[in-house]
Structure 1
Amino acid sequence: MQGRCAVRGATLRGVEAVPVDVEVVVSSGMPAFCIVGMADAAVQEARERVRAAVRASGFSMSNDRVVVNLAPAALRKTGSGFDLPIAVGLLAATGQIDPRVCEGALLVGELSLEGAVRPVDGLMAYALAARDQGLDLVCADAPERLVAIEGLVQRGARTLSTFRTGDFVDLKAPHFSRVRNAPDFRDVAGHDMAKRALQIAAAGGHGVLMMGPPGSGKTMLASRLPSILPPLTEQEMLESALVCSVAGEEVSGVLGGLRPFRSPHHSASLAGLVGGGSPPRPGEISLAHAGVLFLDELAEFKPSVLQGIRQPVESGRVTVTRADGSVSFPARFMLVAASNPCPCGYSGDEEHACSCTVAQIRAYQNRIGGPLMDRIDVHIDVCRIAPGEVLSSGGGSSSDELREGVLKARAYSSWRTAREGGNAKRHDTAASLIKACALTDEDRAFYEDAARAASMSGRAIMRTLAVARTIADMEEAAAVTKSHLCEALAFRLREGVGACL
């Protein structure tokens, strides 16, 4: 049996699926099964899976020379998703199936040794690539992994033998209804100042650092932050779902309207937090895209790992560079961090004596690093509350009440910037932010004196001003006043249990 056939496949590169031509040639010569075109180990192993699947599905495996070329040859190919296009190309080249069954389609899927077609990670990326190429997507019959893409036909194949008859299943992505099951702020007693700070942070998309002794409620507060954030926009939903799909995570929560909340352990590596590996995969900061990244026990993270998130915090993207090129992942998230003030955790606690020396406290807090601290807009101290307040949990401000203030501030900010002919993005220029604040000469002089006295960096000055603008938006005030500046400065210049000695 001799012949040739070309089918369409794709390989993941970052959060995108790059089209690949799978060319199969069967010719006379010494029996062999070769795969060329910069294929990784998972693709090379497809030879054994394809052999077993072809025989198990009732087809015959050619004893001639089989060469599979993955073009373009200069692009590295990864993953087990090439099993299906290689097997279908081989069967079409040997005349065992009609080549027209795979025309106009992008094929992706892993094969079991019994010939079943299994889903692979990143089906949403493959679906977008198929739509952009004007092709149908043929994959495993696993609609729970799919996302409805307008203008795309998605067909499912349960086994390899399906290609004998072309009896595919029309896949319909499930409808994900809006869900709300995030923890509620009503469960947190007391901590009115911390709730106010988190409400301001949610309204303006500002980063937050909470410092306090063990058991003071830092984690409880952080875990409830997504419940007061605005609903995901359609664009945010698709971007976040795409990252989850590529990483093999569930997409139902994001498509149901829940903002991501990621809380990696402090032992996370740089690749695990920022992204990396071979092939590069999204890290925790990308999985938190359009949501919240919570770094608990911040000072316990390796300093080198923490410094890796400095650039993504500002740019909203992370670029992973390797010898074969660079890959970018989206990483626009709210950074929320929590830390004890010292190794024992009780520095500044009025009810528990601290056993650490001044040098130990300094060394512990310096593990976070000044450059990262400078990029966090809101710094608050979270103290332990009285036992009576703890036992009255369930009667505090609810998430619905706090969310109203957040939505009000964002709506006013959008209206204000539209009126001024700008846009509502956080990363505006310094000139546009200063113009939006409309400070009087007296308030400007006050802010300059405060910044000079606190030795604030240029970044800290602008970030604190942005917090003041958010506070003014919550009050629907056209200009930033001295009271707004004072509250913003109070969140930047701490003097409580977490303040550096």
Structure 2
Amino acid sequence: MKFGQCAVMSATVRGVDVVPVTVEVVVSGGLPGISIVGMPDAAIQEARERVRAALRAGGFTMPDEKIVVNLAPSSLKKTGSGFDLPIALGILAASQQIDPAWVRDTLYVGELALDGRVRDVRGTLACAICARSLGLDFVCAAEGDPLPLSDLRVFAMGHIEAASREGGAAACLEERRCPRRASSRAGGPDYGEVSGHDVAKRAFQVAAAGGHGLLMMGPPGSGKTMLASRMPSILPPLSADEALEAAVVHSVAGESIESVIAGVRPFRSPHHSASLAGLVGGGSPIRPGEISLAHQGVLFLDELPEFRSSVLQGIRQPLESGTVTLTRADGNVVFPARFMLVAAANPCPCGYYGDPDHDCTCTVPQIRTYQNRIGGPLIDRIDLHLDVRRTPPAEVLSSQKGADSATLREGVMRARAFARRRRRKTSGDEGSLAERHRVTDEAQAFLVSVAELHAMSGRAIARVVGVARTIADMDESETVDCDHLAEAVSYRVRDGIGGC
């Protein structure tokens, strides 16, 4: 067996970022065996056995010599099974069993099965973006989702046996084509299927037009979940840049990116038993949580008071900043988390406080304790508060369904287009809150009186003005007047079910 050395480019995922890694392989004299150094995790250490079996399955000879694999930079911890393929190719190139063209100008990521097949790994899209930034071609498994990178040559490798062919990846492998964006409106739940709830539909349209958070409170069976599940149907499709941002997060989490790159906004609905790491992110290695998987989409928290208080309070900062920063001993990891929060809650433990058709069995302290589980700081960060009542039986059976998703979405698109035109004519963030949103003097006086009456915080006032600005955009009005503010205040000051 011939001795030699070579270097193969690969990458490791850290958060949603990717760090390029050079896989250096040396085949030399000494006791037979494979040593992997450079701070590999357990999955990388186990690559020794996977690589050994895969090379034999592909018709190659495993060098009966000492093999040292170094993952540079050595000071960075490496994770994942994606180093199997570059390690295998490095061994083959160093022992001169394959054409050296295979390890030139290409970044490799892939896990090897024992029969030599190449499997997809999480973070493939993020690694492809890294290859593009380095000016390299990219080779990954054939079984994964198509990658939306038209300016990068992406090749699919199905089996390690392909490396026996002359000419390298560009000559021997099929290029994976960038998928065409499909329509994001095919099928799915529609607001036209919801009887009544005209006020709630209007509130959801306002929330979609301005990207505002929304909290629904009402008795069981009033339609809260039904309304929330249809929110994506009235949101505009993802732009190409938004889709790429969201797809990277899903790729890093090991989830399919097919619907995201087609323009469908994510809709995440975690169970109320979710842990803080599951909702915000964490673990080892660090993985994005539900709030990051909802990036550029909707996060629906049903039965909001049933979530643990520490878990709920963990989303307060991401609601403001649009990112979540996880601090570990080896540094910080930042995940994007710009999502629309839609939450639903019962007004009390039995669920019927304030319902005219059912008697509530809860005591006043029980009701207060139950509603306080959400926490004032989190409620203060939610723009629209909505009481949802059960639809009368006759209206449920009626054929009059009210506004459908297409009608509501048209209003959302029109409002967002008007807002973009309006912002182009303004000077940005200069001036006071009222000046930036062009609130009339009469409307300002009205808001001051309401804010004093209900002891609204500065954040609450700013969010009321923001909602009023969205309502004005829906009316294609340059200024915010009293009618716009009155509707915004009605979504903020609740005096119906729950009384909070």
TM-score tier, shorter chain, comes to over 0.9
Q: Which amino acid aligns with 1:153?
A: R
Matched, 1:172 2:177: yes
> Which letter maps to 2:392?
A
Is residue 141–residue 169 contact of structure 1 (8 Å, CA) maintained in 2? no
Q: How is 1:193-342 mapped onto 2 (pairs within 5 angstroms)?
A: 193-342=199-348
TM-score normalized by the length of structure 2? 0.96
Contact 1:344–1:356 (Cα < 8 Å) also in 2:
yes
Q: CA deviation at 1:238?
A: 1.1
2-side partners of 1:273 and 1:339: how far apart?
Answer: 18
Deviation (angstroms), 1:220: 0.7
Give 1:61 deviation, angstroms.
1.4
Aligned counterparts, 1:149-164, within 5 A: 149-164=149-164
CA–CA separation in structure 2 for the residues paired with 1:9 and 1:28: 26
Q: Kindly indicate whether the alpha-carbon contact (under 8 Å) linking 2:148 and 2:261 is maintained by their aligned counterparts in 1.
A: no
Q: For 1:376, give the aligned amino acid.
A: I
The match for 2:49 is 48
Query: What is the rounded CA distance, in whole Å, between the counterparts of 2:486 and 2:175 in structure 1?
Result: 61
CA contact (8 A) 1:58 1:161 kept: yes
User: 1:458 corresponds to which residue?
Assistant: 458
Q: 1:28 and 2:33 equivalent?
A: no
Matched with 1:387 is 393
Q: Distance in 2 between matches of 1:296 and 1:95?
A: 59
1:492 is matched with which residue?
492
Task: Tell me the residue number matched to 2:425.
Answer: 419
Which residue number corresponds to residue 425 of structure 1? none
Once the two structures are superposed, residues 132-180 of structure 1 have per-residue CA deviations (whole angstroms, 9 ceiling, x without a partner) of: 11111112223x5121313211122221121111422222233342131
1:273-322: CA deviations, max 9, x gaps?
11111111111111111111000000000010000100111111111111
In structure 2, distance between residues paired with 1:169 and 1:419: 49
DSSP-derived class of the 1:279 partner: coil
Equivalent pairs: percent with the same residue? 62
Counterpart in the other structure of 1:362: 368
Equivalent residue, structure 2, for 1:87: 88
1:182 Cα shift? 2.8
Structure 1 residue aligned with 2:416: 410
CA distance in 2, matches of 1:325, 1:261: 30
- Contact map agreement 1:124 1:146 (CA 8 A) in 2: no
Equivalent residue for 2:448? 448
Tell whether 2:6 aligns with 1:5: yes
For residue 319 of structure 1, give the secondary structure of its aligned residue in structure 2: strand
Is the partner of 1:25 in helix, strand or coil?
strand
With 469-478 and 454-463 compared, the bigger mean Cα shift is at 469-478
Tell me, in whole angstroms, the C-alpha distance in 2 between the residues paired with 1:41 and 1:103.
28
Query: Could you tell me how far 1:440 is from its partner in structure 2?
Result: 3.6
Structure 1 position 432, deviation (Å): 5.4
Structure 2: segments with no counterpart, 5+ residues: none
Match of 1:396 in 2: 402
Letter in 2 for 1:200: V
Counterpart residue type for residue 308 of structure 1: G
Q: SS of the residue aligned with 2:360?
A: coil
The 8 Å contact of residues 105 and 137 in structure 2, kept in 1 or not, is answered as yes
How many residues align structurally?
493
Q: Distance in 1 between matches of 2:269 and 2:307?
A: 12
The answer to whether the 8 Å contact 1:188/1:393 transfers is no
1:394 CA displacement = 6.1
Deviations 1:305-359 (A, max 9, x none): 0001001111111111111111111111100000000000000000000000000
**Over residues 418-463 of structure 1, what are the superposed CA-to-partner deviations in whole Å (9 max), with x where a residue is unaligned?**
11133xxxxx67x454213333433322211211111111100100
CA distance in 2, matches of 1:412, 1:405: 11
Mean CA deviation greater in 458-467 or 164-173: 164-173
The residue number in structure 2 matching 1:17 is: 18
8 Å Cα contact 2:146-2:258 kept in structure 1 = no
Using structure 1 for the length normalisation, give the TM-score.
Answer: 0.96
Give the whole-Å Cα distance in 1 for the aligned partners of 2:219 and 2:194.
16
Over aligned residues, Cα RMSD in angstroms?
Answer: 1.4
Q: Displacement, 1:255?
A: 1.9
Letter aligned with residue 90 of structure 1 = I
Distance 1:435 1:324 in 2: 45
Q: Which runs of 5+ in 1 are unaligned?
A: 423-427
Distance 2:73 2:5 in 1: 18
